[in-house]
Amino acid sequence: MIKIGDYNFLKIDRISDLGYMLIDGSDEYLLHFKEAKCEHQLGDEVKVFIYYDKKERLTATEAEVFSTINMAGFAEVVDVALNAGVFVDINTPKDVFVSKDNLPYDTSLWPQIGDKLFVKLKMKKNQFVAKPLNRFDIIALHKNVNYVEGEKVLSYVIKIADAGISLITNDMMHVFVPRAQYRGKYRIGEELEVTITKKIDEEYYGTLNLHKELLMDTDKELILNYMNSNKGTMPLTAKSSAEDVFRILKMSRKAFKRAYGNLYKEHLIVFDDEKTTLVK
């Protein structure tokens, strides 16, 4: 029984003008010459991936595909169809569609060309679609990889939520980055270097923030830029709530107080009960 969307071992029954005709019972499948790894002879058994071509015909390739019906893998985004989804390359002549139903509602968070998604193939009529794996799917892979605290690991964004960002590493491990441990805005599929901070209940946590001293300089600059753009004032003080700090500066209260205190020690700001003002 042929396995569509997966690897099969088939024999070469005959050779046509286009390529090798592979046989499975009474059914034939074309392995085009350009999809063969090398020259073959009649009767050779070859390992091929069976997929639907652009005309919805079952076709074979000897290429090592990145994702199958039974195996998830990283696939690069090669095209973005606005309001529909994106297309990814699984190393077959035909790219595979990822529906907007599997992407964030906010299209600014969608992957861009060159980003990578961790996907598995699904059959939809006579076509394949790709579905990104979620946190629980990735954890269920049970990869035996151990990271140590402080280790920097290459990863890709799989989910963005209010609580934080979920990542998958090149080793197919899930890493969660809490909201206080990153700055700025990221997108699905974006490549990031995450620093491992701890492991709890077999799940890794990480940070995207720089070293504290470097980060504080960045935070100080961000505060000063905000004040310079708002006539030298800021409706925040050291007593402001975490919600107000994040709403105005997109920064955690802890980081804000660290940078704020240093600006005060350097005599660059003064404050009253309601606001902070630049020293002229």
> 246-273, pLDDT tens digit by residue?
889 888 888 888 889 888 888 899 999 8
Per DSSP, the three-state class of 51 is strand
Maximum separation of any 2 CA atoms in the chain, in Å: 88
In the chain, which stretches have pLDDT less than 70? 210-216
The overall pTM is greater than 0.75: no
Contact at 8 Å (CB) between 210 and 259? Answer: no
pLDDT of residue 215: 58
- Which domains, ranges and CATH numbers included, belong to the chain? 7-61 (2.40.50.140), 73-132 (2.40.50.140), 144-207 (2.40.50.140), 212-278 (1.10.10.10)
User: In sequence order, what are the residues at sequence separation of 6 or more whose Cβ sits closer than 8 angstroms to the Cβ of residue 243?
Assistant: none
DSSP 8-state code for residue 101: G
What does each C-alpha distance from 26 to 2, 4, 17, 49, 59 come to in angstroms? Answer: 11, 16, 20, 18, 15
> Among 189, 185, 225, 241, which residue's Cα sits nearest to residue 208?
185
Q: Which two tokens stand for residue 141?
A: 């892979």
Q: Which two tokens stand for residue 100?
A: 């907007």
> Among 70, 50, 45, 69, which residue's Cα sits nearest to residue 7?
50
pLDDT of residue 182: 85
> Among 249, 240, 226, 246, which residue's Cα sits nearest to residue 275?
240
pLDDT of residue 216: 65
